[in-house]
């Protein structure tokens, strides 16, 4: 720290040797918040991201209309994209939480346009009614909304906040420092009458906005203004630069370091050209500059699946991760659909339903679904009773309850035969879960109580023709005639 301090002093004295001092010069401005309304504008980006309500509670607040007060304030947490947050305390005179929230969000949005360095020590905002000056300091920003309206009309609301936030986050560290006093002396004059009249209390706040203007907003101010500022406070400008402050989003609104058309403040890889901004794990870094794109703790360079959080290894290098590979050391196999220990590539009947994969392809059934085959693999005899055939008041009722979302006792109560071998709710639910594609009687790719369930109940009660299908076929159904529905259900009525 001491070495850094000495370097700064030598730097200031070097600057001093090249600057003409005019101790008697009249300050060029009365106050600097008025020098230009475009240094920060409402079109500039804000780091503000959200307001979270935190109820009401008594807070000690300063109100320029009456001094220190105890107020049952509306409380909000203002959150910013750079990790900072502040509590917003809104005077109860705003009457409702919704009205207070509007004020809290309005000013948090504006404050989010200030450099991060000016928001570092802002723990709270106080918001009151009234036409009274703003204030800064004590880890706080003081806002009177009537005065804010006047600042808005003049286009200097953001500029005023810069001044007040400089009080809050810079004064305590620098206003009395040897380096700042040396810069003050080297310049030999003040940027404003307000600073000259209050050199200890106001000089940093009065000088910081002009510093931002000439260093980062030169394209928005006139050459005459820039020249006036630079000639008046060159050593103070050098001082601020020496602090290496975090001035985002001010410093990132127009800089595009990698030339990809996305400014640094919005670019998830500001040093690497990545127009697509691909960010697989939704963290702060895009894939182009992220060493762990799936955020699984393993660097992409050694991760066999750098975009898949669930997989890291592929021992047999067959393209299927070990966690998903039923045969992680056998490159010829990766799946075992029926769990019989023989991989699908070698297994002639992958779903173990008694029909070969080759035959099922010919039949148009699913070789990986044990309930899908030309006959006998699935039965609407849900409770599997001794009759081995489906019944409307047991099996039909179980299906329609299942499709309505019933479970447990509500699913099976009074709906299983006395001689059923599948009576437990868990067992029946599991059976229907596994066989749900077969419950799609009308073939519209979804199983629905008021179509498929109704069709089954009607069929089991003996309905046929229009009485079977009327109002019970899905809009996108593939099986739409009574004959097609009858054929589909009848093939699944009895276990063969």
Question: pLDDT digit string (tens) for 9-48?
Answer: 333 333 333 333 344 589 999 999 999 999 999 999 999 9
What is the structure's pLDDT at 8?
37
Q: Which helix (H) or strand (E) holds 53?
A: strand 48-63
Both tokens of residue 259?
């030339």
Backbone φ and ψ of 491, nearest 5°: -70, -15
- Which helix (H) or strand (E) segment holds residue 361: the answer is helix 357-363
Q: Which residues of 157-186 are buried (b: 16+ CB within 10 A; e: fewer)?
A: bbbbbbbbbbbbbbbeebbeeebbbbbbeb
Both tokens of 40, joined, read 């920060």
Residue 302, both tokens: 């050694």
CB 38 within 8 A of CB 155: yes
What pLDDT is stored for residue 181 in this prediction? Answer: 97
Confirm if 171 and 205 have CB atoms less than 8 A apart.
yes
- The pLDDT value given to residue 254: 53
How many residues are listed for the chain in this entry?
496
Positions of the chain with pLDDT lower than 50, given as ranges? 1-23, 495-496
Question: CA–CA separation, 425 vs 431, rounded Å?
Answer: 10
SS3 category, 403: helix
Q: Give how far the C-alpha of residue 139 lies from the chain's centroid of Cα atoms, to the nearest Å.
A: 28
**Residue whose pair of structure tokens reads 């309206």 in the numeric block:** 149
CB 174 within 8 A of CB 212: no
pTM for the model stands at: 0.52
Condensed to tens digits (0 to 9), the pLDDT of residues 164-182 reads: 999 999 999 999 999 999 9
User: How far is it, in rounded angstroms, from Cα 379 to Cα 372?
Assistant: 10
* Cβ atoms 455, 438 nearer than 8 A: no
Q: Note the pLDDT of residue 5.
A: 36
Give the CB-side neighbour count of residue 421, counting CA atoms within 13 A. 7
């Amino acid at each position: 720290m001491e070495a850094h301090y000495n370097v700064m002093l030598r730097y200031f004295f070097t600057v001093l040797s090249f600057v003409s001092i005019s101790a008697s010069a009249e300050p060029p401005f009365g106050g600097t918040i008025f020098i230009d309304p475009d240094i920060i504008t409402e079109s500039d980006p804000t780091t503000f991201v959200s307001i979270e309500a935190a109820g009401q509670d008594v807070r000690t607040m300063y109100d320029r209309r009456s001094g220190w007060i105890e107020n049952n304030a509306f409380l909000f947490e203002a959150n910013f994209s750079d990790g900072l947050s502040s509590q917003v305390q809104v005077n109860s005179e705003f009457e409702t939480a919704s009205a207070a929230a509007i004020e809290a969000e309005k000013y948090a949005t504006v404050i989010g346009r200030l450099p991060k360095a000016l928001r570092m020590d802002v723990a709270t905002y106080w918001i009151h009614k009234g036409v009274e000056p703003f204030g800064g300091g004590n880890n706080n920003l003081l806002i009177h909304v009537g005065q804010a309206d006047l600042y808005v009309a003049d286009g200097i609301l953001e500029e005023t906040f810069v001044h007040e936030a400089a009080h809050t986050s810079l004064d305590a560290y620098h206003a009395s420092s040897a380096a700042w006093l040396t810069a003050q002396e080297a310049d030999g004059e003040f940027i404003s009458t307000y600073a000259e009249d209050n050199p200890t209390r106001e000089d940093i706040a009065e000088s910081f906005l002009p510093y931002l203007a000439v260093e980062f907003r030169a394209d928005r101010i006139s050459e005459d203004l820039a020249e006036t500022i630079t000639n008046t406070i060159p050593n103070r400008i050098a001082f601020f630069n020496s602090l290496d402050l975090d001035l985002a989003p001010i410093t990132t609104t127009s800089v595009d370091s990698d030339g990809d058309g996305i400014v640094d403040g919005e670019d998830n890889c500001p040093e690497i050209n990545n127009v697509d901004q691909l960010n697989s794990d939704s963290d702060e870094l895009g894939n182009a500059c992220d060493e762990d794109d799936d955020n699984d703790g393993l660097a992409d360079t050694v991760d066999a699946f750098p975009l898949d959080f669930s997989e890291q290894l592929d021992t047999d290098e067959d393209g299927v991760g070990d966690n998903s590979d039923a045969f992680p050391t056998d490159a010829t196999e990766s799946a075992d659909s029926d769990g019989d220990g023989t991989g699908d590539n070698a297994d002639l009947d992958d779903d173990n339903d008694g029909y070969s994969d080759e035959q099922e392809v010919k039949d148009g059934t699913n070789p990986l679904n044990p309930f899908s085959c030309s006959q006998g693999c699935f039965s609407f005899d849900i409770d599997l009773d001794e009759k081995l055939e489906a019944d409307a008041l047991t099996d039909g009722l179980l299906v329609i309850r299942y499709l309505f979302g019933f479970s447990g006792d509500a699913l099976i109560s009074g709906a299983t035969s006395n001689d059923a071998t599948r009576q437990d709710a868990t067992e029946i639910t599991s059976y229907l879960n596994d066989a749900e594609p077969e419950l799609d009687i009308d073939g519209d790719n979804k199983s629905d109580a008021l179509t498929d369930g109704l069709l089954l109940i009607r069929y089991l009660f003996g309905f046929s023709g229009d009485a079977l299908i009327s109002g019970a076929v899905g809009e996108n159904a593939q099986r739409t005639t009574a004959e097609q529905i009858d054929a589909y259900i009848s093939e699944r009525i009895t276990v063969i």
